[in-house]
Chain A
Amino acid sequence: MKITVAGETKEVADGLTVQGLIELENVETPQYVTVSVNEEFIDANSFETHILSEGDEVEFLYFMGGGATDRAKEEGNAVYE
């Protein structure tokens, strides 16, 4: 069957799961990846059971976050003034 992964059409085996696609695509640090199928986010607990269908549009998104939780100072390194 044909599916679209990150905008690219690919031929994959029928019955492929989200987890299978993650492995097929060699997704880096998959534990930090959010997956959407047809713009619906898939719960990570369902990666192994969610079977992809013909025409599905899949996106892999890296979790983007951080925070100024440590407050140590550093020497100045101004770039924008």
Chain B
Amino acid sequence: MKITIRRSDLDRITEHARAESPDEACGLIAGRDDADGTRIIEKVYILTNTDHTNEHFTIDPREQLAAVKDMRANGLSPLGNWHSHPETPSRPSDEDKRLANDSRASYLILSLEKEDPVLNAFHIEGEPGDRTVRKEELIITEE
């Protein structure tokens, strides 16, 4: 699957994630599925990590609820979430896989491990303990 994100949105979450580091940062993504199956991220939500640690994140459910209502009001579909790995690579940890409960979601992971940030998107499905992870083709658009 292909998924697109605007560079401006990527820059915004990178800036936020760096500001939150060493804690993990997180949020939601919303948009639409194009006719050819490409997922278009049209809005990125920066939300609070209620865990406030460098090893875990939990999206604030009240903010999540508000974001879902905003998506609906703007005709956007929920596409998944994003979070940062301040000190580790851009790929799902065992904990990420364990808690990836929505097989329809795209999971974006922004690594700040190195000087240049790395963002990847993943599709995760299957039962807990036996998850299948597939990397999605992430396309960064200039507009």
A positions within 8 Å CB-CB of B: 6-7, 28-29, 32, 34, 36, 39, 41, 59, 61-71, 73-74, 76-81
Are A64 and B65 interface neighbours, CB within 8 A?
no
The 5 A-B pairs with the shortest beta carbon distances in the complex, nearest first, are: A67-B56, A66-B96, A64-B59, A32-B101, A65-B58
Closest to A33 in B: B101
Size of interface on B: residues with Cβ below 8 Å to A: 49
A68 to B17, CA, bound (A): 14
Q: How many A-B residue pairs have CB under 8 A?
A: 110
Are A73 and B94 interface neighbours, CB within 8 A?
no
**B65 partner residues in chain A, CB cutoff 8 A:** 36, 39, 59, 61
> Known interface pairs A77-B118, A78-B118. Does A67 touch B55 (Cβ–Cβ under 8 Å)?
yes
Query: Which of B72, B103, B107 contacts A28, CB < 8 Å?
Result: B103
**B101 partner residues in chain A, CB cutoff 8 A:** 28-29, 32, 62-63
> Known interface pairs A64-B28, A79-B140. Does A70 touch B93 (Cβ–Cβ under 8 Å)?
yes
Are A68 and B54 interface neighbours, CB within 8 A?
yes
B106 → chain A, closest Cβ, in Å?
A: 12
Query: Which of A6, A66, A78, A80 contacts B99, CB < 8 Å?
Result: A66
